[in-house]
Chain A
């Protein structure tokens, strides 16, 4: 694995390896000194062309816990809007000695272009590109789900889930699939790990062509809750601008039909975990009862995000593959 651009590129073995490394990383976060020396002397550049405080901080924390130097560059909009091409930006960073680049961009495919255009040599991590993919989010979701599946604490140091997949798990993803990079990454990764994914959304928020995805698609959330036996339900954030674009009649109607209302939360199987990539629109896609339920693992997802990103940076920047685990003893 040279870059992490998409979860579609990950084999089951590679995915489990990353999750297992993340499990080891989760121990670091509870130590008194939350640092490993493995990336000492290396520079990670966070290239954020789109606002995302949460993801940026998570990557910064991950890089710093591995002792890397971190440079963060934020510029809203496309590279063109500030009069510089992506090529020039990339080559500038390369000239500064970037050993790894984490890129967030509003345009689908920008990380892929950065990785494959021949402009730079450094490994590239996709931290979310347009409505394409958000692979580290899917990895942290998978990490969390794996813990849930094993009946373990959803975050914190533990080794009980090491080596496992998500075989047999039924995971619902509810909401704006069309515009969701989280959904795309999760459909690939969770399926690769053996889970059965069910997408639940209004037809207007499903992409044309979704029928070729390796998952089921239903429109009715109540029916899905009644019939699917969900082990986990992931509620997606619905952006304010979708309401102005008439993807559905009103916010209230959306909440009634696709929101995780208190009644629906009660109708879920007792052990069904509730996930949300955050930030939550309370009262819209998720009600208070679900948001504050002990089954809700939103904060665990955040904690696991740092561990997963540490694992990704470690694997990419130390050039270690699944087959080459020589330095793992140092963790």
Chain B
């Protein structure tokens, strides 16, 4: 019997408590036997294991950028007990075969729950629906579908996708980007792009798609999730849609909560990302939206790239930043001047994404659920050094940033996959346990 007693942890609501773990589930600490491993959590914050709705694990196809194993280890190190692997792999995850492959690779790795996201359309081409039902029925039990990296631009295809996934309570996660308005786009369109002479990615290209999609979701009564919201106008639109009762959820990345297009003046491609870094005004609106619940979740959009895709000129560089191992600390840092509490952190990084994606064993510290937990040192000043991270991607824009929070232990269904900041042994999925429920 695998038992752990976590002693004296600070819970998200600020109270102190012991947490008991037995056979992969949280149990009443009184019920943990004397043989249990005891973890002293004095001064540590216990959060439900983090859940990322937006991860690029690159496998299959670009194992030079990341593998399911390296990405899973990065996730564990960052406190994530579940990640959603986006479909833009090669081949694209648009069939039951590919999503099952990713699912199996995740179980073999054993460091986090890897949930494949299915493509909405065949080959992410935006033309015909992929076999969404086959992916939903597969071993991977896909519930979230996204053409992320590409917008489902054709309004009729988007409507059909929203309607179709209602059959299995699926959700469409939209990468909101009007392709015509962003042809050749390199950065946010505004005063900085005007000066730098880089083709602009206007806010309206995101907002016009969100406006259309929330109306479509209302019309057909479906669930819509908006990936990586980046503009103040988008926050307003989502706030309006929620007030109207539309079933929309929204996500923001850690980097959009801090960085602005002023960084592009360096022409350093580590700041090249899609959607692009916006203005200070947008950053403040995103923080406000996250605090008031308009934006439900933080999704990392973890996008590892090999160095050769970034050690080039801006216009030739790949878009994307890694984030799994810095997200928690960066979000805490971004929100430090607001009254954003530890409970809020648990909400946006764990409970809300678990609820949206239907992960009942994650997002909570309740007895009886999966013992997915992260212990965080909330007062651990350090300078971020991506070179020691487990992800293969070194494209972390927060290199050198002074951060205050650090993940110490990650428990994945009770298995201590990260112990004192170091990787431990993975969970063995072959054994019986709540991970197979």
List A residues at the B interface (Cβ < 8 Å): 8, 78-80, 85-87, 105-110, 112-114, 116-117, 129-133, 181, 184, 207-210, 212-213
Contact = CB atoms under 8 A, between A and B. Distances in A.
B134 interface: no
B383 interface: no
12 contacts: A78-B312, A79-B313, A80-B316, A107-B315, A107-B316, A108-B314, A109-B198, A116-B266, A117-B311, A132-B196, A207-B200, A209-B192
B194 interface: yes
A109 B315 contact: yes
Nearest to B189: A208
Nearest to A131: B197
Given A208-B189, A212-B191, A108 B196 contact: yes
B194 A85 contact: no
Given A86-B311, A113-B267, A207 B316 contact: no
A181 B195 CA distance: 10
Given A108-B197, A109-B196, A130-B197, 16 more contacts: A78-B313, A79-B312, A86-B311, A107-B316, A108-B314, A112-B266, A112-B267, A132-B197, A132-B198, A181-B197, A184-B197, A207-B200, A208-B193, A208-B194, A209-B190, A212-B195
B268 interface: yes
Nearest to A5: B267
A132 B267 CA distance: 11
B195 A110 contact: no
B316 A208 contact: no
Counting from the closest, the 5 A-B pairs by CB-CB distance are A107-B315, A209-B194, A109-B267, A132-B197, A131-B197
B242 to A, nearest CB: 29
B202 interface: yes
B267 A85 contact: no
Nearest to A49: B313
A184 B192 CA distance: 12
Contact of A209 (B186, B195, B266): B195
A108 B315 contact: yes
A79, A108, A131, A213 — most chain B CB neighbours (10 Å): A108
Contacts of B192: 209
Nearest to B190: A209
A2 to B, nearest CB: 16
Interface string B309-338: 001111110000000000000000000000
Given A85-B308, A116-B266, A208-B200, A106 B315 contact: yes
A112 B190 CA distance: 20
